[in-house]
Structure 1
Amino acid sequence: MKAVIVRSFGGPEVLEVAEVPTPEPGPGQVRIRVAAAAVNPVDVQTRTGALTAGGLLPKREVIGIGWDVAGVIDEVGSQVAGFRRGDTVIGLSDRLALPLKTQAEHVVLDADAVAAVSADTDLVAAATLPLGGLTAAQALDIAAAKPGDTLLVTGAAGAVGGYTVQLAALAGVRVVAVAGADDEELVRGLGAEFFVPRSADLPAAVRDLVPGGVHTAVDAASVGMLALDGVRSGGSLVSVLGNAPMPLRGIRVSNVWIRADGPRLTELAAVGLRCRVADVLPLDEVAEAHRRLEAGGLRGRLVLVP
Structure 2
Amino acid sequence: MTNMRALIGGSGAPLLVSAPLPEAGPGQVRVKVAAAGVNPFDLAVAAGALASYGLARKLDSYGIGFDAAGTVDQVGPGTSFTVGEDVVGLSARLELPYKAQAEYVVLDAPAVARAPRNVSPAHASTLPLNGLTAWQALDRTGVGPGGTLLVTGAAGAVGGYLVELAAVRGVRVVAAAGAADEELVRGFGAEWFVPREEDLAEGVRARVPGGVDAAVDAAVLGLPALDAVRDGGTFVGLTSGAAPVPLRGTDVATVLFRSDAGQLAELVRLVEAGRLTLRVADTYPLEKAADAHARLAEGGLRGRLVLVP
Where in structure 1 are there 5+ consecutive unaligned residues?
none
Show the 5 A alignment for 1:183-198.
Answer: 183-198=181-196
Task: Tell me what 1:64 maps to.
Answer: 63
Show the 5 A alignment for 1:42-81.
Answer: 42-80=41-79
Task: Tell me what 1:294 maps to.
Answer: 297
Query: Does structure 1 conserve the Cα–Cα contact (< 8 Å) formed by 2:34 and 2:69?
Result: yes
**Code of the aligned partner of 2:171:** V
* 2:35 is the alignment partner of 1:36: yes
Measured in 2, the distance between the counterparts of 1:46 and 1:277 equals: 22
Task: Tell me what 1:139 maps to.
Answer: 137
Matched position secondary structure for 1:51: coil
* 2:215 is the alignment partner of 1:239: no
Matched position secondary structure for 2:20: coil
Task: Tell me what 1:9 maps to.
Answer: 11
Measured in 2, the distance between the counterparts of 1:304 and 1:49 equals: 20
Question: Following superposition, which runs of at least 4 residues in structure 1 exceed 2 angstroms of deviation?
Answer: 117-121
Question: Which one of the candidate residues 72, 97, 100 is aligned to 1:99?
Answer: 97
Task: Tell me what 2:285 maps to.
Answer: 282
Measured in 1, the distance between the counterparts of 2:117 and 2:270 equals: 16
Quote how far apart the aligned CAs of 1:244 are: 1.2
Identity of aligned residues (%): 57
Quote how far apart the aligned CAs of 1:263 are: 1.4
TM-score by length of 1: 0.96
Query: Does structure 2 conserve the Cα–Cα contact (< 8 Å) formed by 1:175 and 1:194?
Result: yes
Query: Does structure 2 conserve the Cα–Cα contact (< 8 Å) formed by 1:35 and 1:123?
Result: yes
Show the 5 A alignment for 1:242-253.
Answer: 242=240, 243-253=242-252
Quote how far apart the aligned CAs of 1:60 are: 1.6
Task: Write the deviation string for residues 235-267 of structure 1: whole angstroms up to 9, x where unpaired.
Answer: 101001122111111111100021011111011
Task: Tell me what 2:126 maps to.
Answer: 128
Measured in 2, the distance between the counterparts of 1:49 and 1:60 equals: 9
Task: Tell me what 2:226 maps to.
Answer: 228
Q: Which moved more, 1:240-249 or 1:157-166?
A: 240-249
Quote how far apart the aligned CAs of 1:119 are: 5.2
Quote how far apart the aligned CAs of 1:16 are: 1.1
Show the 5 A alignment for 1:10-25.
Answer: 10=12, 14-25=13-24
Measured in 1, the distance between the counterparts of 2:49 and 2:179 equals: 30
Question: Which one of the candidate residues 215, 218, 229 is aligned to 1:217?
Answer: 215
Measured in 1, the distance between the counterparts of 2:270 and 2:20 equals: 37
Task: Write the deviation string for residues 17-39 of structure 1: whole angstroms up to 9, x where unpaired.
Answer: 11111100111000000000000
